[in-house]
A = this chain, B = another copy of it.
Amino acid sequence: MKRVYLFEEGEAKDKKLLGGKGANLAEMTRMGLPVPPGFIITTETCLEYYGAGEKPPEGLMDDVATAIKHIEEKTGKKFGDAHNPLLVSVRSGAAISMPGMMDTILNLGLNDSTVKGLVEQTDNERFAYDAYRRFISMFCRIALGVDGELFDEAFERVKQKYGVEYDTDLDAKALKEAVVGFKEICRRALGREFPTDPYEQLRLAIEAVFKSWNTPRCVAYRKEFKITSDIANGTAVNVEAMVFGNMGNDSATGVAFTRDPATGENVLFGEYLTNAQGEDVVAGIRTPKPIAEMGKEMPATCRELLKIREILERRYREVQDFEFTIERGKLYMLQTRSGKMTAQARVKTVVAMVKEGILAEEEAILKVWPEDLEQLTHKRIDPKAKVKPIARGLAASPGASSGVAIFSADDAEREGRAGKNVILVREETKPEDVHGFFASQGILTSRGGKTSHAAVVARGMGKPCVSGCEAIRVDPHAKTAYVGDVIIKEGDVLTIDGGSGDVYLGEVPMIEPKLGGDITELLRWADKRRKLGVMANTDTPEGARDAKRFGAEGIGLCRTERMFSETDRLPLVQALIMAGSAEERKPYLEKLLPVQKRDFKEILKAVEGLPVTVRLLDPPLHEFLPSRDALIEEVEELKREKSLLVLKKRTHTVVKRMENVEKSIAEKERVLKRARVLAEINPMLGHRGVRVGVTCPDIYEMQIRAYYEACAELMKEGVKIKPELMVPNICTVEELLVVKEIVARVAEEVEQKFGVRVPMKFGTMIEVVRACLEADRIAEVAEFFSFGTNDLTQATFSFSREDAENKFLSIYTERGVLPDNPFQTLDVEGVGRLIQMGVELGRKTRPDLEIGICGEHGGDPKSVKFCHEVGLTYVSCSPYRVPIARLAAAQAAIKS
């Protein structure tokens, strides 16, 4: 097994063996770029080290010595030589860079003898001893574990002695004293002399690198980011000849991007410092100069850099983030890696690279991380703004917004109408609060997970939401919230960032979203390649228009329950629920019919010509009633008022008020009674969806008629429509047949009445496990399937989404019991398997069955990939995630 690779012997693709840093140094060497000579000890050697109980494998240091020889030949210097000493840097470098691994050790090889050689070579005693004292403290701290503060304190004393403020003001003599003091510190701390043999220094440094792989911080990081051993296992060690950027004004050091990482502009972008070492750039004592100035200061080197920029991009086909040093006019490349960029810059770059002939369209598509597109569809906090959040909750629905804090849906509606920007602040929200969502710019809750009511509704509407912000205590009665000592009153301005979960006091500067020409072009390329259709989940005309704007090919899920919860109709719906029989429900259903019909017409018109899939009522009826706790509280309050009124003089006003109070009590108690009858132990598994359709067919019939009539009226107006009707929550085909019977009858009646035949498609949600298992029979009746993966995931895991997210799911993902939150990323092994069965069984009966997915997963790239692989027809997601899904679908198609 080869343990040591010269830079000449490696390649970029050897990352796992050589680490990211080493592989890139090797690659640049192979490309003929000016890299100081060096070598890499493999990651496998690190594993050997651990395998042997933290001992370097036999023969390793011999291989290292051979490699050092090679460097000596290349540089003409000699390791440990008293006249022309070779100095090296030692760096850690795993396949993936991670914090907690060893810092760089510079100038290794210095001792009392070689330092003199350095003086000889550089003719600069101060420089040499400065390097030496830095090396001793660095080596002691990093490789030998001596407390770094001891050196800082000693150095401070030297400065005091010489009465100087800055390190740079110390002369060679003072630095020599510092060296003596530093060595003394080492002796005292470790009970041994500072190691002077360069090979011993090197061995200790190599072992320190190996050890750093298992520091608690590094282990925790791997766990947190799920870096398993098949991705990165062990760290490599990079040993490289030192070059110096601080050898005078013809020396410099700098970092650069091959393009502007913020905007994507095609210019060399970076900073440099003349006569400086790398750590000076980082330390921020001197202000680096923009690279543009280099053209004047060092025109030849600058031209060389521009050439290298081009070579790097063509080789890596990615924007590179590289470090360089100029030693006495000669340029050295010290590192390169893929550059981190803003989403916008990345999109601009890949599109440009296609035009420059660097990338093919397909490569460009693969190079953008779909999730990043979300930044482009939402407002966000200006990253340059110097602001500190007062609390952080869950990033529940992306986008940022500012507004006055308002504590109830009704108040939000009133203030919203008055033209104010509103942030609705609640402990948690319920369907009866939805009118407040419409009026608000953002929603902030102190309870509930990323899939709480607030989060789901906000995402559906494309409004920013921070949920489960437990640091905030909300008192809705007092219209006040508390965060530690901070008191937020109604009307105080808040800013929330639903992309990060941050909450700020006051207004914060923001950046407007830009969906410019580049992203449009990229998505156009994506659309050419993807096999999956992309639809949107929305239930408002505005949402439908957003969906179209973001490229949705139709509405894949139009929920009808939100149409039930808007302020103007909720009382009607509640009266409907209070009614005990179909007969009593009739007048309310008759009033709801035209309202619902109008909703449908508006949505159909907003996406004229595109399919609109309407789902019949899904939630249990009790969800539309006020909460029992709220009712109990209201009744108690009224009773208290009553007991006070009894003590008052019976004036006309008091008598009148008494009557009203008593009426209110009676009314609320009636609702409370009904709410108790309808209450369920497990509402998720209760009387909802088609179960309501079977037991109260009149409610479903009203919805079906409203949709049919909406369609018929639009057809007569000449509007193009593609209506689809979908039944939720079925567990057996018989339920579907019950609804189909109503549909057939209504279709007939509407045709009679309007003289047109509505081209309605009839399909079903597949969100109950049993429906997946019986999909062959269901496909006999359903013309399309839409997998409701939210509910299907709940049933497959027996997880109640909200309970799980509040109570144990985070512990599960932290402990690795589950790899991901299955409500965010589709669980391929479990839920995915059921979907696959559903697809196979369904298509066995009806080979051309259209099958989609309309859960939250429809906008998650990993899940979209699965949907492509399993052969779905389309995904449907929040309008704001449509671009993500389009890109992810194209990536899946290209990869497969």
Chain B residue contacts of A796, Cβ below 8 A? 731, 768-770, 773, 795
Q: Which of A212-220, A432-440, A799-807, A874-882 contacts B (4 or more CB under 8 A)?
A: A799-807
Per-position 1/0 for A473-505, Cβ under 8 A of B:
000000000000000000000000000000000
Instruction: State in angstroms the CA–CA spacing of A732 and B795 once bound together.
Output: 14
Within the complex, what minimum Cβ distance (angstroms) separates A754 from chain B?
Answer: 31
Q: Mark A305-329, 1 if CB is under 8 A from B, else 0.
A: 0000000000000000000000000
Interface residues as binary, A775-816 with B (CB distance below 8 Å gives 1, 0 otherwise): 000000000000000010011111110111001100110011
How long is the Cα–Cα vector from A738 to B815 in the complex, in angstroms? 10
Q: Which of A694, A695, A729, A797 is packed against the most chain B CB atoms within 10 Å?
A: A797
Given A694-B815, A738-B815, A815-B694, A798 and B685 touching (CB < 8 A)? yes
- Is there an interface contact between A773 and B830, defined as CB atoms closer than 8 Å? yes
B738 touches A768 (CB 8 A): no
Segment at the interface with B among A102-110, A228-236, A266-274, A676-684:
A676-684
Whether A811 lies near B681 (C-beta < 8 A) is no
**Which residue on chain B has the smallest CB distance to residue A689?**
B798
A279 on the B face (CB < 8 A): no
A717 within 8 A of B: no
In contact, B687 and A797 (Cβ under 8 angstroms): no
Pair B685/A817 contact, Cβ less than 8 Å = no
- Taking CB atoms and an 8 Å cut-off, the chain A residues in 736-768 that contact chain B are 738, 767-768
Neighbouring B residues of A850 by C-beta, 8 Å: none
Taking a contact as CB atoms under 8 Å apart, the answer to whether A830 and B738 are in contact is no
Give the distance in Å from the alpha carbon of A791 to the alpha carbon of B798 in the complex: 9
CA distance A729 to B798 in the complex (A): 8
Interface contact B681-A803, CB-CB below 8 Å: yes
- Are A684 and B682 neighbours in the complex by a CB distance under 8 Å? yes
CB of A590 within 8 A of chain B? Answer: no
**How many angstroms from the CA of A687 to the CA of B807 in the assembled complex?**
7
Is residue A691 within 8 Å, beta carbon to beta carbon, of the partner chain?
yes
In the complex, the answer to whether A830 meets B770 with C-beta atoms within 8 Å is yes
A821 to chain B, nearest CB (A): 13
* Contact A685-B687, Cβ < 8 Å, known A694-B808, A768-B798, A795-B795: no
CB distance from A844 to the nearest CB of B (A): 15
Asked if A583 lies at the interface with its beta carbon under 8 angstroms from chain B, I say no
Residues in chain B near residue A680, CB distance under 8 A = 800, 803, 807
Question: What CA separation (Å) do A791 and B796 show in the bound complex?
Answer: 12
CA distance A808 to B690 in the complex (A): 11
Using known A-B contacts A769-B830, A833-B773, determine if residue A800 contacts B682 with beta carbons closer than 8 Å: yes
Does A250 count as interface, using CB distance less than 8 angstroms?
no
Q: What are the residues of chain B within 8 A of A685 when measuring CB–CB? A: 682, 684-685, 794, 798-800, 803-804
Complex CA–CA separation, A745 to B812 (angstroms): 21
User: Contact check: which of B681, B734, B811 meets A683 at CB < 8 Å?
Assistant: B681
Q: Is A304 an interface residue (CB 8 A)?
A: no
When chains A and B are docked, how far (Å) is the Cα of A763 from the Cα of B815? 22
Chain B residues within an 8 Å CB radius of A738? 815, 817
Residues of B within 8 A of A817 (CB): 694, 732, 734-735, 738
In the complex, whether A686 has a CB less than 8 A from a CB of chain B is yes
* A827 interface contact, C-beta 8 A: yes
Known A-B contacts A770-B796, A796-B770, A818-B732; the reply to A802 vs B694 at CB < 8 A is: no
Please give, as numbers and ranges, the residues of chain B lying within 8 Å of A800 by CB-CB distance: 680-686
Considering residues A770, A799, A833, which has the most beta carbons from chain B within 10 angstroms of its beta carbon? A770
> For the complex, what is the distance from the CA of A830 to the CA of B827, rounded to whole Å?
21
The one of B770, B795, B808 in contact with A691, judged by C-beta atoms closer than 8 angstroms, is B808
Q: Which of A811-859 contact B (CB under 8 A)?
A: 811-812, 815-818, 827, 829-831, 833-834
Which bucket holds chain A's interface residue count? Answer: 35 or more
A686 near B803 with CB under 8 A, answer yes
The residues of B that contact A774 with a CB separation of less than 8 Å are: 829-830
Contact of A829 among B773, B808, B831, B834 (CB under 8 A): B773
Report yes or no: A770 in contact with B791, Cβ–Cβ below 8 A: no
B773 touches A797 (CB 8 A): no
Report B-chain residues with C-beta under 8 Å of the C-beta of A811. Answer: 694-695
Contact B734 A818 (CB under 8 A): yes
Contact of A812 among B694, B803, B812, B833 (CB under 8 A): B694
Q: Of residues 61 to 111 in A, which have CB atoms within 8 Å of B's CB atoms?
A: none
Taking CB atoms, residues of chain B closer than 8 Å to A632 are 632
CA distance A794 to B682 in the complex (A): 11
Cβ of A822 to closest chain B Cβ, rounded Å = 9
A841 to chain B, nearest CB (A): 11
In the bound complex, what is the Cα–Cα distance between A834 and B798 (angstroms)? 14
Closest residue of chain B to A794, judged by CB? B685
User: What 0/1 pattern do residues 397 to 416 of A give for CB contact below 8 A with B?
Assistant: 00000000000000000000
Query: Would you call A797 and B731 a contact (CB within 8 A)?
Result: yes
Contacts of A791 in B (CB 8 A): 798
Q: How far is the CA of A330 from the CA of B695 in the complex (A)?
A: 60
B684 near A681 (CB under 8 angstroms)? yes
Q: How far is the CB of A776 from chain B (nearest CB, A)?
A: 10
Q: How far is A794 from B735 in the complex, measured between Cα atoms in Å?
A: 17
CA–CA, A807 and B622, complex, Å: 13
Contact of A682 among B683, B694, B768 (CB under 8 A): B683
Contacts of A734 in B (CB 8 A): 816-818
Would you give the shortest CB distance from A782 to chain B, in whole angstroms? Answer: 16
What chain B residues lie within 8 Å of A683 (beta carbons)? 681-682, 800, 803
Please report the C-alpha to C-alpha distance between residue A796 and residue B817 in the assembled complex, in whole angstroms: 23
Chain A 266-318 interface residues, beta-carbon cutoff 8 Å to B: none
Contacts of A799 in B (CB 8 A): 685, 731
In the complex, A768→B804 CA distance in Å?
Answer: 15
Name the distance in Å between A368's Cβ and chain B's nearest Cβ.
Answer: 33
Q: A552 to chain B: closest CB distance in Å?
A: 29
A731: chain B residues at CB < 8 Å are: 796-799, 830
Q: Is B833 a contact partner of A798 (Cβ separation < 8 A)?
A: no
**Interface contact B682-A803, CB-CB below 8 Å:** yes
Could you give, for residues 567-584 of chain A, a 1 whenever the CB lies within 8 Å of some chain B CB and a 0 otherwise? 000000000000000000
CB nearest to A685 among chain B residues? B800
Residues of B within 8 A of A686 (CB): 800, 803-804, 807
Q: Return the chain B residue nearest A832 by Cβ.
A: B773
A687-B803 contact in complex given A796-B770, A829-B774, C-beta closer than 8 Å: yes
Taken together as a complex, chains A and B put the C-alpha atoms of A145 and B244 apart, in Å, by 118
Nearest B residue to A680, CB-CB: B803
Which 5 A-B residue pairs are closest in the complex by CB-CB distance? A682-B800, A685-B800, A770-B830, A686-B803, A687-B807
- 14 interchain pairs (CB within 8 A)? A680-B803, A681-B803, A686-B807, A687-B804, A738-B815, A768-B796, A768-B797, A768-B798, A770-B827, A773-B796, A773-B834, A774-B830, A791-B798, A795-B796
9 more CB-based (< 8 A) A-B contacts, given A682-B802, A687-B804, A769-B798: A681-B800, A685-B803, A686-B804, A731-B797, A738-B815, A767-B798, A773-B833, A795-B796, A795-B798
